[in-house]
Amino acid sequence: MLTSARVFAFTLLTVALCAPRMARADEPRATVAGGYSVLQQLGTADAASATFTSGWFVGGTHRLFAPRMSVVGEVTRSARLNVVNETQSLLALLGGVRVELLHLAPLRVSGIALAGVERFSEPGFSENGLAVEPGVGIDVWPLRRVGLRVAAGYRLVRAEGTTFEEVRASAGAVIRLGED
């Protein structure tokens, strides 16, 4: 069984071993993105799996000193109705690094390593947990400043002595904020 620390360490090792390349004039200095997100919470010994089909994400990146590396921050919210028609919600605040792995204009493929907190809530109950989420993102830039971002990640959340496994997919618009 993979632990969240092992998954996060493996992701950081993969990011660190990526070969550097020189910066190009068309690289965005920063981006903002937002759109739709869906999350599948895999079952545990105590709970069945659940699909959170109503969701959104908002994120931003800012390039670091290394040409292909950016810091990233992301807020996601996923919701669903349980069997008694109450809203269950997952809210995650995550930050980390994004490393460009492949650039074939207008396509950019990146590895993403995020860590932060996730809050589960429903009427009368809530809990917080530490989360790590390695993943991959694809940006397609049909226009100079506006593109499409598609991403997927595998999130591990440790809350109240239980580890939750979640798979998340998102799609939305991405906007360039600056270039060199």
In the chain, where are the structural domains located? 4-12+27-179
The whole-number average pLDDT for the span 142-167 is 92
Neighbours of 72 (CB within 10 A): 21
Per-residue model confidence (pLDDT) at position 28: 77
Residues 6+ apart with CB under 8 A from 163: 3, 4, 44, 156, 157
Per-residue model confidence (pLDDT) at position 61: 94
* Listed residue (169, 170, 179) closest to 148, CA to CA: 170
Residues 6+ apart with CB under 8 A from 58: 32, 33, 34, 74, 75
Q: What kind of architecture, by CATH, is found in domain 4-12+27-179?
A: Beta Barrel (2.40)
Per-residue model confidence (pLDDT) at position 99: 93
| Predicted TM-score of the model (pTM) | 0.80
Query: Per residue in 11-28, pLDDT tens?
Result: 555 545 444 444 454 667
Per-residue model confidence (pLDDT) at position 149: 96
C-alpha torsion sign, points 163, 125, 49, 38 = negative
The whole-number average pLDDT for the span 134-163 is 93
Per-residue model confidence (pLDDT) at position 137: 96
